Amino acid sequence: MASVAAAAIRPALRWALRRSALSNCQLSRTFSSTVRQSRAPIPDYATPNPARPTHFGFETVTEAEKRERVAEVFTNVAESYDRMNDLMSFGWHRVWKDYFVSSLNPGFSPLTPGLDPRAPQHILDIAGGTGDIAFRMLHNAHIVNGNPDVHVTISDINPAMLTVGKQRSRSLPASQQAALSFVEANAEDLTKTKPLSMSPPSTTEADITSAIPDNSVDLYTVAFGIRNFSNIPAALREAHRVLKPGGVFACLEFSKADKFPLLNTIYKEWSFRAIPLIGQLVAGDRDSYQYLVESIERFPTQEDFRDMIVDAGFVVGSNGGYEDLTGGVAAIHKGMKPRA
């Protein structure tokens, strides 16, 4: 009897499922651009889906759950984030970040005879909460290259990290502070960004959102952030959307040092034994740092990540599209959005 009833409602269920799949499509269409519509359809894996399984360190969770738990991790570590980075990498993360920024050389714009050909540069620093990359960008552009026409937007999903960055930015020269803005946004959907407000948000303020328009960014950077994203392909496509044709996607991220077995062994020992311990002693939070090392382990290899970048529509350099730092402990990936 029950089976007959089930058989009777099955077509109805199927219809309902199809309907929900359709409405999902329409949902993604609302923030897709004309450029994207002319391209190949977005594959299913690159559409954020809160219910899809992903990994949180070595655990398997849903995308929505990962977002929450990553938020929790970074809210916990925000205060001690910079001190911990120094302790964990012996200060070496500064060398990587300096190299990353100087190799990108933001603000470099040679003059030619005649009209000033320089166009303002807009840099979007995703997951840039504490401003490490953004402040270096501004220094390189304003001071090294003498080009004040460079604006940096720091975007982070986590207001706690942004608040730390905002406080640190107070020690910058006024001209550089003026070229900075802080927004709270999810990198998988940059159509909804919220400017950071230092006072507790009132109900009206919380609703103010604005979109980062299509083809508006010269340089999109994400340093030590992309492995925390719930849906990396979606974030890469969103990067492709906001970048101008010719704009550059640049990512600095922990990677694999498999090419050097000895270095790799020492590195793995250090990261799995020492880092959670340092986290416990210094920041009083072992779990967050356990997640950190596990998430590094789960991040794709240099080649696989490069293929994901190509898959999102970027052109990568012909010598591989990535550059290893310190034998592959970290790697820089760069891609350019081709001209339409």
Q: How many CB atoms lie within 10 A of CB 23?
A: 9
Write the single-letter amino acid at 38: S
Which one of 244, 268, 286, 298 is in contact with another protein (CB under 8 A)? 244
- Give the SS3 label for residue 234: helix
Token pair recorded at residue 188: 């998988």
Q: How many residues bind another protein (CB under 8 A)?
A: 34
95 binding another protein? (CB under 8 A): no
186 in a known ligand binding site: yes
| b/e 86-115 (16+ beta carbons within 10 angstroms → b) | ebbbeeebeebbeebbeebebbebeeeeee
140 binds another protein (CB under 8 A): no
Q: Which is nearer to another protein, 159 or 247 (CB)?
A: 247
* 130 in a labelled binding site: yes
Asked if 317 is part of the footprint of another protein (rule: CB under 8 A), the reply reads: yes
- Residues 196-225, one symbol each (x = binds another protein by CB under 8 A, - = not), give ----------------------xx------
Shortest distance in whole angstroms from residue 54 CB to another protein: 25
Minimum distance from CB of 110 to another protein (Å)?
A: 4
Strand partners, 126: 155, 222
Residue 315 binds to another protein (criterion: CB under 8 A)? yes
Residue 311 assigned ligand-binding role: no
Q: Per rule CB under 8 A, is residue 170 in the interface with another protein?
A: no
Single out the segment in contact with another protein by CB under 8 A; choices: 16-24, 81-89, 177-185, 241-249.
241-249
Could you give the CA distance from residue 284 to residue 83 in angstroms, rounded to a whole number? 13
Only segment of 46-54, 89-97, 253-261, 332-340 that touches another protein (CB under 8 A) = 332-340
CA dihedral 322, 340, 194, 69 (to 10 degrees): -40
The CA distance from 13 to 188, in Å, is: 30
CB atoms within 10 A of CB 166: 19
Q: Give 133 or 219: the residue with its C-beta nearer to another protein.
A: 219
Give the contact letters, 247-286, x = binds to another protein (CB under 8 A), - = no: xx-x------------------------------------
- Sign of the CA dihedral with 63 first, then 66, 72, and 78 last: negative
Stretch that binds another protein, among 12-20, 197-205, 226-234, 309-317 (CB under 8 A): 309-317
Helices (H), 275-334: 275-278, 286-298, 302-311
Which CA distances in Å does 74 have to 130, 175, 217, 263?
A: 11, 29, 26, 28
> Per CB under 8 A, which of residues 105..124 are in contact with another protein?
105-106, 108-110, 112, 117-119, 121
Best CA proximity match to 223, nearest among 156, 279, 290, 273: 156
- Is 193 annotated in a binding site? The answer is no
Query: Which lies closer to another protein via its Cβ, residue 278 or residue 315?
Result: 315
Annotated binding residues, as ranges?
Answer: 130, 156, 186-187
The site for another protein (CB under 8 A) is made up of 103-106, 108-110, 112, 117-119, 121, 218-219, 244-248, 250, 307, 310, 315-321, 323, 334, 336, 338-339
